[in-house]
Chain A
Amino acid sequence: MASQTDSTVVRPPEPAAARDGGRGAGRGGPARRPVPRRRSHNWRRNRKEYLLFLVLVAPNLAIIGTFDYWPVIYNAWLSLTRWNMISGVPRFVGLQNYENLLTSPGFHEVLLNTLVFTAAIVIGSAVIGLALAVLFNQKLRGRGIVRTAAFAPHIVSGAAVATLWLFMFDPAYGLTRVVFDPFGMESPRWVNDADWAMVALIIAYLWKGIGFIAIVYLAGLQNLPEELYEAARLDGAGSWTIFRRITLPLLSPVTFFVMVVSIIGTFQAYDMIAVLTGGGPGSATTTLSWFIYQQGFQASDAGNAAAGAMLLFVILLVVTGLQTKFVQRKVHYR
C-alpha cells in the first residue's frame, strides 16, 4: 500500500503522450539487445519469422490505423466540408469553416475560455504541485497518508469527482459555504453564475489532478544531486536562495513535462465540464474541446467540429514540439 516513490527517477519524456491522457513516454535508454542478430531481410529464409511478426503486430496496427491515423486524415478532409453527419454526403467548401470560426466572436470567446482554463491549470499545477512536493519531501510523520490522499482523486472518474464538487458547490448545503459563512459572506452560486463557473471548474480540476503532479515533482526533487546542495550550504546560501538558484533551474525539465501533461489533460476534461457546467452558463465554460463535442454531436455540424479539432491538433503539436526542443537543450546544460 505504501507509496514508495522515494527512490524514484523522473526523466522528462520525449514526445509527450497525447492520447493516453497525457502520459509521457520515457526516454528509451540504450537497449541491451537480448540476442545478437544479423540484418538480413531474406524473405525466403526468414519467412516463418516474418509471418509470426505480422500475426503478432497486425491486430494492434489495424486498430491504431483505423482509430488513430485514419481519423486525422478524414478529419482534415471533413474540416473542408459542410455536412450534418446524418444524411447526404460532405460538401466541399474550402477553408470556409476556418474562416467562419476565426471571425466569429463566439469562437473567440471559446478560445479565450480555453486559454484561461488551460493557463490556470498549467500555472496552478506547477506552483501548487511543486509546493506539495517540497512539503512531502520533508521528514514529517503522516506525510505518506497525505500523499496518498492527494494522489487518489487523480485515478477516480472525472464524472465522480465533478459530481462530488457539484454538491460541494451547492450554495445552501455545500461544503464550500463553510468557507464563506464565517466572514458573513454569502456563497457564490458557483456553476450557475457565469462569473464563477470557470473558477469552480478550475478548483475541481486542480483538486483532482494536483496530487499526481506533486508525485512527479517529488520524484524530481529526490533525484537532484546532493553535492550541489552541500556546496551551496558551505558557501552560506540560505534555503530560499538555494531553492531559487539551484532547485528550480534543475527541475525545469520536470516543470516542462508537467506543463505539457497539464495542457494535454485540460483538453480531455470532457467529463468534468459535462457534469459541472455543460459548457455554461451560456458559453462561459465552453472550451475548445467542449466546442468540438457540441458542434459535432449536439449541433450536428461536422465541418465546424472538424475544423475546431484541427486547430486543437495544431496547438498540441506546437506545444509538444516546444517541449521536446526545450528538454533536449536542457539536457546539454547538465
Chain B
Amino acid sequence: MSVDRQASPERRQGTSTSVQRVLLYAGLVAVGLLFIGPLYWLFSSALKEPGDIYQYPPRWLPGWHVENFAEAWRAAPFGDFFLNSLIVTAGGAAIKLVNATLTAYAFVFLRFPFKNLIFLVMLGALMVPNNVTLIVNYITVSNLGWVNTYTGLILPSAGSVFGMFLLRQYMMTLPGDVIEAARVDGAGHLRIMWQVVLPMCRPMLVTVGIIAVVDMWNDFIWPLIVTNTVEMRTLPIGLLYLRTTEGYANWGAIMAGTVMVGLPMLVLFLFAQRQIARGLTGGAVKG
C-alpha cells in the first residue's frame, strides 16, 4: 500500500530521542496487533478445522478448511441473504444517490419561492434519530402492505438528506461561467445537469454513493423488524440467525458466515478509503 506519500507537516517531534522512538514504535506495533490480530483471527478461524478451533493454547496457522463456508451455507440460506443484501443495497443506494443529486441540483440551480426554507426543513430531518422513527415507520409500512417486501426494506431509507447536503455544497463551488456558457448555448437544465454539472461532481458523487452502499449493506435494525421470514433476511440478520441455529457449537461455520458479511465492505474500504473518510467526516475532511 502506498501510504504516507504525501509528507505531512510533521510537528512536535524534532526533539524525540531514540528511546522515545523505540517507545513510539512499540506503541505502533501494539496498536497494530490490537486491530490486525482480531481480523486475522476472524479469517484464520473461518478456515480452521474444528479440531484446531477447539483447542487451547490457540493454533495460529489456519488450514484450508473451506468446508466451514459450505457448512454455514447449509445451516442458513446464505444465497437468499446475499441476494437480498445485493438488491437492497443496490436499489437503496441507487435511489438515494438519484434523490441526492436531483434535490441538490434543484436547490443550487433553480429558482423557487422559499426554497431556502424548504432546504432547512429537509436538513432538519438529520436531527431525527432512527430510534424515534422505528415504531411509526413499521406501522406505516405495514399499513401499506410492504412488510417482508423489498419496497418495505428499501423505501424508508431511500431519501437523502446528508448526501444531498454534501452534493449541494460541492455544486455551489463549481465555476459559474462554465454553466453559464452552456446556458447561453441553449442547453436546458436537464442537459446542463447531465453533461456539465454531474461530470464535475464526480468525486462527491462517488463519496455519496459509497457511503450509501455501506449504510444499506450494514443496516441492521430496520431489516430486522420489517422482515419476518428467513428467506427475506439480509446478511447481517442472517448472521444472527446462523448463530442462533448453530448455537455456539460451530465457531468455524459462524466465522465463515461472518467473513461473508464483512468481507465485501472490507474490500470496498481498501479501494475507497479516502472517499469513505471524506463522507463519514461530513465533507469537513478534505482528502
Number of interface residues of A (CB under 8 A): 134
The smallest beta-carbon distance between B155 and chain A, in angstroms, is 7
For residue B126, CB closer than 8 A to chain A, the reply is yes
For residue A166, CB closer than 8 A to chain B, the reply is yes
The smallest beta-carbon distance between A70 and chain B, in angstroms, is 7
For residue B106, CB closer than 8 A to chain A, the reply is yes
Pairwise interchain contact B286-A32, C-beta atoms closer than 8 A: no
B164, closest chain A residue (CB): A60
Residues of B within 8 Å of A92, CB to CB, are none
For residue A322, CB closer than 8 A to chain B, the reply is no
Pairwise interchain contact B224-A274, C-beta atoms closer than 8 A: yes
Q: How many angstroms between the C-alpha atoms of A305 and B138 in the bound complex?
A: 13
Taking Cβ atoms with an 8 Å cutoff, the residues of B that contact A are 1-13, 15-16, 24-25, 27-28, 31-32, 34-39, 41-42, 45, 53-58, 99-100, 102-103, 105-113, 115, 118, 122-123, 125-140, 155-162, 164-166, 169, 171-176, 179-180, 183, 189, 211, 214-215, 217-218, 220-221, 224-225, 235-237, 239-240, 243, 248, 251, 254-255, 257-258, 261-262, 265-266, 268-271, 273-274, 276-277, 279-287
The smallest beta-carbon distance between A250 and chain B, in angstroms, is 12
Pairwise interchain contact B287-A4, C-beta atoms closer than 8 A: yes
Known: A19-B126, A145-B1, A157-B262. A270 touches B111 (CB 8 A): no
Q: In chain A, residues 164-218, which have Cβ atoms closer than 8 Å to a Cβ of chain B?
A: 164-168, 170, 172-173, 175, 177-178, 181, 207, 211-212, 215-216
Q: How many angstroms between the C-alpha atoms of A270 and B282 in the bound complex?
A: 23
Residues of B within 8 Å of A212, CB to CB, are 280
Residues of B within 8 Å of A105, CB to CB, are none
Residues of A within 8 Å of B279, CB to CB, are 23
Pairwise interchain contact A137-B10, C-beta atoms closer than 8 A: yes
Number of A-B contacts (CB under 8 A): 414
Among the stretches A94-102, A116-124, A312-320, the one at the interface with B is A312-320
Pairwise interchain contact B135-A135, C-beta atoms closer than 8 A: no
The smallest beta-carbon distance between A13 and chain B, in angstroms, is 5
Binary flags per residue of A1-39, CB closer than 8 Å to B gives 1, else 0: 111111111111101011111011111110111110100
Q: How many angstroms between the C-alpha atoms of A28 and B106 in the bound complex?
A: 17
The smallest beta-carbon distance between B254 and chain A, in angstroms, is 6
Binary flags per residue of A138-180, CB closer than 8 Å to B gives 1, else 0: 1110111111111111111111110111111010110101100
Known: A3-B277, A155-B276. A146 touches B35 (CB 8 A): yes
Pairwise interchain contact B235-A4, C-beta atoms closer than 8 A: no
Known: A157-B218, A157-B236, A313-B129. A224 touches B11 (CB 8 A): yes
Pairwise interchain contact B24-A140, C-beta atoms closer than 8 A: yes
Q: How many angstroms between the C-alpha atoms of A144 and B262 in the bound complex?
A: 22
B163, closest chain A residue (CB): A20
For residue A132, CB closer than 8 A to chain B, the reply is yes
The smallest beta-carbon distance between B237 and chain A, in angstroms, is 7
Q: How many angstroms between the C-alpha atoms of A306 and B134 in the bound complex?
A: 9
Q: How many angstroms between the C-alpha atoms of A300 and B113 in the bound complex?
A: 44
The smallest beta-carbon distance between A163 and chain B, in angstroms, is 5
Q: How many angstroms between the C-alpha atoms of A37 and B180 in the bound complex?
A: 12
Say which residue of B2, B10, B102, B280 sits within 8 Å of A56 (CB atoms).
B102
* 5 A-B pairs with C-beta separation under 8 A: A2-B3, A19-B127, A57-B102, A75-B132, A148-B3
Pairwise interchain contact B31-A164, C-beta atoms closer than 8 A: no
Q: How many angstroms between the C-alpha atoms of A70 and B169 in the bound complex?
A: 27
Interface centre among A60, A167, A264, A270 (most CB of B within 10 A): A60
Pairwise interchain contact B13-A138, C-beta atoms closer than 8 A: yes
Residues of A within 8 Å of B179, CB to CB, are 34-35
Say which residue of A32, A56, A69 sits within 8 Å of B172 (CB atoms).
A32
The smallest beta-carbon distance between A298 and chain B, in angstroms, is 10
Binary flags per residue of A284-300, CB closer than 8 Å to B gives 1, else 0: 00001100110011000
Residues of B within 8 Å of A175, CB to CB, are 37-38, 41, 58
Pairwise interchain contact A67-B156, C-beta atoms closer than 8 A: yes
New A-B contacts (9) at CB < 8 Å, excluding given A31-B172, A71-B135, A139-B10: A34-B174, A56-B102, A59-B99, A60-B159, A157-B261, A160-B262, A207-B35, A216-B285, A268-B129
Known: A3-B3, A34-B172, A160-B261. A267 touches B269 (CB 8 A): no
Residues of A within 8 Å of B108, CB to CB, are 34
Residues of B within 8 Å of A160, CB to CB, are 236, 239, 258, 261-262
Pairwise interchain contact B56-A172, C-beta atoms closer than 8 A: yes
For residue A275, CB closer than 8 A to chain B, the reply is yes
Q: How many angstroms between the C-alpha atoms of A328 and B258 in the bound complex?
A: 43
Pairwise interchain contact B139-A264, C-beta atoms closer than 8 A: no
Pairwise interchain contact A50-B112, C-beta atoms closer than 8 A: yes
Closest 5 CB pairs of A and B: A144-B3, A63-B159, A34-B176, A71-B136, A271-B220
Known: A215-B281, A316-B129. A170 touches B258 (CB 8 A): no
Binary flags per residue of A37-75, CB closer than 8 Å to B gives 1, else 0: 100110000100110111011011101101111111011
Pairwise interchain contact B277-A163, C-beta atoms closer than 8 A: no
Residues of B within 8 Å of A54, CB to CB, are 112
Known: A135-B27, A170-B251. A7 touches B281 (CB 8 A): no
A230, closest chain B residue (CB): B11
